[in-house]
Amino acid sequence: QVQLVESGGGLVQPGGSLRLSCAISEFRLDYYAVGWFRQAPGKEREGVSSIMGGTGFTSYADSVTGRFTISTDRAKSTVYLQMNGLETEDTAIYYCAKYAAEGEYGLDEKDFEYWGQGTQVTVSS
């Protein structure tokens, strides 16, 4: 059964860093992209970043470009989201999800299936 489990969230001060992890099972990062999404209170869920493990192709939302970096460790079946220069606006629940189509990637949530349970990131002084 496909599963994605996020970890690494927490409370951090503005300007700080966190690294989120998404441990996957029952599919291969070589063949399927994984994306990170977030949902802040009162707002719609938005795409943050995605990666196609087999090629290394990545995409980022404009709001996080230059601050966040997505990567994979295929041996550990894990996708990471390194978040630097965190801002209060980054406060949200962060989810990872599996792209439905093999060999493709993007940031439109309708193209993703199988979601993790989410991890809370709070940026506050």
Q: 26-54 pLDDT, tens per residue?
A: 999 999 999 999 999 999 999 999 999 88
Q: Is 89 exposed, middle or buried (0-12, 13-18, 19+ CB in 10 A)?
A: exposed
The percent of residues above 70 in pLDDT, for the chain, comes to: 100
DSSP class of residue 109 equals G
How many Å apart are CA 45 and CA 52, to the nearest integer? 21
Looking at residue 53, its pLDDT comes to 80
For the segment 61-100, what is each residue's pLDDT rounded down to a tens digit? 999 999 999 999 988 899 999 999 999 999 999 999 999 9
Q: What is the mean pLDDT of residues 105-115?
A: 94
